[in-house]
Structures are given as structure tokens and as C-alpha cells.
Structure 1
Amino acid sequence: MDRGDGAYLFDVDGQKFLDLNNNFTTLIHGHAFPPVVRAVSEQLKSGSCFANPSRFEARLAELLCDRVPAVSMVRFVNTGTEAVMFAIKAARAFTGRSAIAKIEGSFHGAYDWAEVSQGGSPADWGPPESPHSTPAYRGMPQSVLSETLVLRFNQPEEARRLIGEHAHRLAAILIDPMPSRAGLIPPDPEFIAVLQVACGEHGLVLISDEVLNLRQSFNGAAARYGLEPDLVVMGKIIGGGLPIGAIGGRRDVMGVFGDKHGRAILPQSGTFSANPLSVVAGIAAMDALDKAAFDRLERLGERVRSGLRKAIAENKVPFCVTGTASLFRIHPRANEPHEYRDAYLTEYDIATMREMTRHLARKGVLMPPMAAASLSTPMQENECDAIVNAVDTFLRLFYNQQ
């Protein structure tokens, strides 16, 4: 790519593309958002990074505490991976236990325990009543696998049983309220309730990973689905297009980071954490995301999802659409998945989605083939209709060739 402007990317050959990747859902205002450009340009004149806190760090922290109901205190890091890592470590420090539970198929960055079973297959994911902990890469330590309990999404009774059996060793339950890689599937209220009750009964820390899904509403994803987490992990949209991550939550749990009475129970630092460029960009981006902006994105998202469902029905093809707010994902199957195993892609499915991605690119639309596609605030209704039309053309051409 050569440059971005609003909802569009331009490559080095001069081609123009409607961007539905938005740097993996980060750019909720699209490319070169003027308030972010101004904020970063002005801050560069005063310095790009300090070892000391800045007033901007405090301002962004206050903004997040005001918006996200579960967040009373915040610490900033540089990436979503770091935020997940320190949230898990905070849960361990708070409870004195080491193991965690996580959802099968969910992606949480590159911390070993968070990577377990993020990409299992029928060959290794084990029986439905007791999922195996599968390695994310060759050589993953067996100790990591043994310290990670895997739960299937939207399976409340199974989750209740497994958590009860392993509660004595669990520090936390890590959940993305609508896991993108696992299918961008909404949570069942009963499943959410089971996790909530289990954490309360057994003294576990409930971690809501909203690095991606904070964009689901003005107050985030947990609030949308009735989840009351102890810690919330944030990133992507809170940095305005610059690297950032954040851990927020209850004061007592966040207290493990504090050094008021000597060395912290859990020391945490980072050379570029809370650097002024990222936080001023984040303030500019988040200030522009008022409730009206979220409502508008929701309407655009529903226009795309309903348009895609209509195109699928008219073409009578085995596809479906999941997602909410400004997110959507297309699946090459007739029925909407309920959990990761339903959404698992075969080799044929992967080839189909790659063919769709290539077709859309030829039509000037860049869409991630097997993950969440995202809308941005510069988009208008005509861009939504262009997405639907491009997919409709693919469905007609592809299935006429079968």
C-alpha cells in the first residue's frame, strides 16, 4: 500500500480499495483521521516519549474509566498481547493460582497461555464434553497446555462442570464476548451467567478481552451483553491508529500493580507504554466516538448484514452472516455457527473464502477472508451497498461455475 484516506486505501499501482480490514479493526475512523493527524503533529513538537507520566495519559485513563462500567483504574501498555499477558498475570498475583480457563478457538494475542487452542481442528480438539488443550505452535511447553483449561463457547452446562472440577487451580477465566477468530458469534445469556456465577463462587478473576470488541458500543462489549468482568483488556481503537494496549478493572485487582507500600506484587513497565503520541491519538479518536457515532455505525453495520443475507437468500447458496455493531463475518455454510466447532473451516471452505477475497479485491473491496470485517465512520450508505453488490456478484459467478 502507498497511502490511506478515510475509508479507502491506495496501493503503489494507483488502485483504490474500500478498506474493511482497517488494520485488523483498529481504524474505526479510517485512515488519516484529521483530529488524530493534528493531535500527533502537535505532540511531536513537544516530544514523542517520556519516562514520566503525562497529563494526556491521565486524560485517556479518565475517559476509559468514565465509559467502561467495569473499569475503575487503568494501566497502559503497547499492544493487545501485552494487555492480555498482564491481565492474566494480575489474576495470578491476586488469587495466588496459576492456571486459566479460556474459550476454544478464541484469539488473544501471542502470550503462550492465551494461545492454547486458538486453532484446534477435528484431528486434535478432543471430545465435546472435555476439549483438549491444543498447542498453537510446535514446541509449546506441555506445562502451558496443562495449565490451560479449554471451554467451548455457548455451552453453559459443560462450562459449569469443567470450571467446578478445576476451580481449585484456576486464577481466571479469559473470554472475548464475541470472539472474531472463533466465528464472530454472539454469546448466549445463559453462558455469560454461568461464567459470572462461577467466578463469584470460586473466587476467579473474570477477564473480558475487548481489544477488538470495545468497538461494539459506547460502553464496550461486556456492558452490551450483561457481563460484569473484574478486568477489561483494551486496545486497537483506543490508540487512534498508533500502538497501544490497556488493562483496566476493579481497584482491588488492579492493586497488584501498585507500589505504594514498596515493591509491587506484580511489577509492570514498558519503555513506550503510555507514550504521548499514542495517548493523544487515542484521545482524539475516542472523543470523536460519541454515542451518535456508535449508533450510526450500528445502522451501517445492519445495512450490510441485512443486505448480505438478502443476497445469500436470493442466490440460494450455503452462506450465512454473523456479527453486530460495525462488525460482520461471512461463513461458507448455510446455518449460523453457535460455537467455534460449528465455524471451523475445511480446506474447501478456506479455498472458497480466498476466492471471494480475490473477487472482492478485483471489485475494489479489501475484506479479511476468515476474520471480522469492520466498518469505519467515513463510510456512507453507498459504500455499504458496494460491499453487498460485490459479494452478490461473487455468489452468482462462483456458484454458476460449480
Structure 2
Amino acid sequence: MVTVTGVGQKSKHNFGRARLVFPDGTSRVTVERDPEPLYIDRGEGSYLFDVDGRRFLDLHCNFTTLIHGHAFAPVVDALTRQLQRGSCFANPTESEIELAELLCGRIPQVDRIRFVNTGTEAVLFAIKAARAFTGRSKIAKLEGAYHGAYDWAEVSQAANPDNWGNPLAPKSTASYRGMPASVLDEVVVLRFNDVGGGRRLLSLHAHELAAVILDPMPSRGGLVAPKPEFIATIQEIARSNGILVISDEILNLRQSFQGASARYGLLPDLVTMGKIIGGGLPIGAIGGREDVMKVFDSSAGRPLLPQGGTFSANPLSMTAGLAFMRHLDHAAFAHLELLGNAIRDGIGHAISTREAPLCVTGAASLFRIHPRAQTPNDYREIYPTSSGQTLMKQLTRFFAENGIILPYGAAASISTPMTRADADLIVDVFAGFLDSQRSVLDTIAARSSLE
């Protein structure tokens, strides 16, 4: 049943106020608007309520962060107690040790850990740690993969057909006007799942590379599963040439009890974490091999890599993260896997029975729908056409009209409070969208058959 049409009057009013104090009316570029953003009043479990009192099933979860949904009671209780004791101190607290013990005990390859405040900081310091450990400066990264707002990590994050260059040797492209050319020169760009290209490019630059940073299943690269031979090749070349492997699991740590690297057979030297480990509060973390993490060691004087932050390991984030992660047990992951499979299978069935030119990818608690018939292998293959972009915008709008927030062009995620009825609703709304767009989909399919 259609429950919502457009944004409400209070959201429109708020956006008018916001345009007077923010450059584009928003406080971050990732805020979606159609044409105004939806302003949220509160969250409860797997649902959001906007300022106009309307309820939405949330498939955004604040960029996949809220794996236990909104206002998770154990986190609320733990934070209430901590706030009464203090919000931040210059000295360490027991809560940071407890969260570190949990993560080091759970995530393979994480012998030691360092907390920061954001995923961007985690990637920034992981790259710096690799440079400090190896004495080299260059890094390699995947085309189209998002790793936050550190210059080197941003290279080719938003490459497009006009600038991404030869498929056998992707160009390093700037993500913003004025990015130093020297940064572009220090990043080797790989295509995801390109085994031969990965081997050739890493070998060619091996003596200059400090690290290769991988997202095991890049969300902006389509939430496509990595080929085992791609993972094996990257590891083999890296190991034989003293290149560190950084696994960016800031988003994908939610793929299993032990994270995404364990799921796909990756054995990284460093792991970046964030999102779910903070229980809904700002956080980031760098973990890894004891010898590599020793670059942060200041016990004998100035470390090879100094790192600090006024709010790093603050007790609120530590307390919330600990409560969140303690309840993210094997049973929780089994529930998410079951629901995720039901949603992906249901969407796939709706597509196949209607012969629609779409496909679905993802794993565990993540899924993504693509305006193309064939499952993509990498970022270039998921890059949408203008008709595809229009279709996906209509999909997001249709979901919103039916009381579901579905991110546009990004990873959709589910949370532990969701039920099989919620999964069925997602599939039913998607099937309704396909039926409503029959003529448009037929046109896209006809064009695709001619290409």
C-alpha cells in the first residue's frame, strides 16, 4: 500500500532553513534529496520516523552502521550510565581495553589495535603505517572503491568513462579540483577481479609500493563478490615483494562474525574498521600484525608513526561499541544471513519471472540492485547509463512511496530487528516496481540487445 508521496511540509521547511546556513543546504555530500531531503525525528528498531510523523523501513542504516537498528536498548542503557560518569577524558579508560580485547579476539590477523574517530582516519593511518613499516610511499587501490577522504585513498574513487583510461592500465584520476598531481603519481589503480591486470601492475611497481588496499566487496564497485583467484593473486604478489595488504572492512566487517577477510580467504597485514564497532557513535580503528602495528609504539620515545586525537578511544564510543558488538553474536549473523538470502533470492526471482534487465548482488546483510541484466565484475561494468540512472532514481522513489528507505546507487543493508515479514515486504515492493515500469524495462532490454 502506498503510504508516502514526496517529502512532508516540515522537511521542506527545514530544508529552507538549512539552505541559509549550509553551502547546499546539507552538512554532507552524501545526503540524498528528491528534491529536498527527508528530515528524521527518531528511529526505533528497523524503522525511521520523519519530522512529519511518517514511518519508513530503513534499508540505509546510516551507511550500513546500525546493524542492530535504531535506539538499540543495550547501547542506550550503556551510554546513559557512561554519560553520568563522564563523556571524555585525557586519560585512558577500561572500556577501550574491553572493546580492543573483543576485536582482537574476534578478527583474524588483528594482534594489536589503535582507535581513531572515523573511517577516513582509519584508512589514513593504515596507509601511513604501511609507509612507515616499509619505507615506501606508493599505494595500489581498486578503481571506484571508496576509502574515505584521504587524498591517496580518493584517487579514481569517482572515475568515469571520460577519464578512466585503458582497461589494461587504468588512469589515476582526481576526485576533486586541485588534487595535487603528485598524489596521482603515487597511486597504482587496479580493476577489481582482474587477475592478470592485478598481477602485472603490482609486479611492475612492486619496489615502490608500501601497500595495496582492498575492500573485499566494494560497495561503490557494485557489492560484487571477489574471485578467489583475484584474492590469491594479490596476496601472492604482495607477499613476495614486501607489499602490505590492507583490508578495508569499515563497511564489510558486517559480513560475518569474523569479518569479510575471513569470509573470502584474505589474510591482510592491516585491517581498517569502523561503523558497526562504534554502536552508532563516531569511531574508526586500525588493527593488524603485531610487528606492523609497532610503528605506533611510543614506549621508547617518538614512534615511527605518531598518532593521537582528542576524541580517539573516547569512552562513549568505546562503551556503545562494546555493547553493540557483544550482542552481534553467531545467532545474530545467522539471522542476517537468512534474511539477506531471502531478499536477494526474492528479488532475483522477481527479475527472472518478468525477464527484466536487472540483477542483484551482495552477501550477508547487504544487497544492491543494478540496472543491467548481467551480473557485473567490477566498477566499470556497474557504471550506469543515463537510462539506468533514471530507472534507479525511480526505484528509490517507488520504495519511499511505499514506506521503505532504499539508498540510491549505494549498498542497501538490513538490521537484526528486521523480520521475515520485512524481507517479504521488500521483495513485494520491488516486484510492484517492476510491474509499474514494464514499458520502460522493455525499452531498456531492447536497447541492451542491440549493443
TM range (shorter): over 0.9
Partner of 1:186: 225
Report deviation, 1:157. Answer: 1.2
Scaled by the length of structure 1, the TM-score of the pair is: 0.99
* Aligned pair partner of 1:340 in 371, 379, 384: 379
Partner of 2:194: 155
Q: How does 1:226-265 map to 2 (within 5 A)?
A: 226-265=265-304
* Equivalent position amino acid for 2:313 in 1: A
Report deviation, 1:44. Answer: 0.1
* Aligned pair partner of 1:61 in 100, 109, 127: 100
Q: How does 1:288-327 map to 2 (within 5 A)?
A: 288-327=327-366
Partner of 2:17: none
* Aligned pair partner of 2:48 in 9, 17, 27: 9
**Aligned equivalents of 1:115 and 1:197: distance in 2?**
25
* Equivalent position amino acid for 2:362 in 1: G
Partner of 2:26: none
- State the percentage of identical aligned residues: 62
Instruction: Say if 2:349 is the partner of 1:272.
Output: no
Scaled by the length of structure 2, the TM-score of the pair is: 0.88
Q: How does 1:350-369 map to 2 (within 5 A)?
A: 350-369=389-408
Partner of 1:113: 152
Instruction: Say if 2:256 is the partner of 1:214.
Output: no
Per-residue CA deviation, residues 151-188 of structure 1 (Å, 9 max, x unaligned), is 00001111111111101111000000000001001100
Instruction: Say if 2:72 is the partner of 1:33.
Output: yes
Partner of 2:32: none
Partner of 2:216: 177
**Aligned equivalents of 1:224 and 1:31: distance in 2?**
27
Q: How does 1:65-104 map to 2 (within 5 A)?
A: 65-104=104-143
Report deviation, 1:65. Answer: 0.4
The gaps in structure 1 that reach 5 residues or longer are none
Per-residue CA deviation, residues 318-350 of structure 1 (Å, 9 max, x unaligned), is 000000000000000000101111111122211
Secondary structure of the corresponding residue to residue 89 of structure 2? coil
Partner of 1:399: 438
Report deviation, 1:400. Answer: 3.5
Instruction: Say if 2:175 is the partner of 1:136.
Output: yes
**Aligned equivalents of 2:105 and 2:334: distance in 1?**
19
Q: How does 1:360-379 map to 2 (within 5 A)?
A: 360-379=399-418
Report deviation, 1:203. Answer: 0.3
**Aligned equivalents of 2:211 and 2:82: distance in 1?**
38
Per-residue CA deviation, residues 218-265 of structure 1 (Å, 9 max, x unaligned), is 000001000000000000000000000000000110000001111011
Instruction: Say if 2:238 is the partner of 1:199.
Output: yes
* Aligned pair partner of 1:122 in 144, 161, 170: 161
**Aligned equivalents of 1:346 and 1:95: distance in 2?**
42
* Equivalent position amino acid for 2:196 in 1: E
Secondary structure of the corresponding residue to residue 331 of structure 2? helix
Per-residue CA deviation, residues 331-390 of structure 1 (Å, 9 max, x unaligned), is 000001011111111222111111110110000000111111000000000000111111
Aligned Cα root-mean-square deviation (Å): 0.7
**Aligned equivalents of 1:183 and 1:342: distance in 2?**
9
Secondary structure of the corresponding residue to residue 234 of structure 1? strand
* Equivalent position amino acid for 2:318 in 1: V
**Aligned equivalents of 1:102 and 1:214: distance in 2?**
19
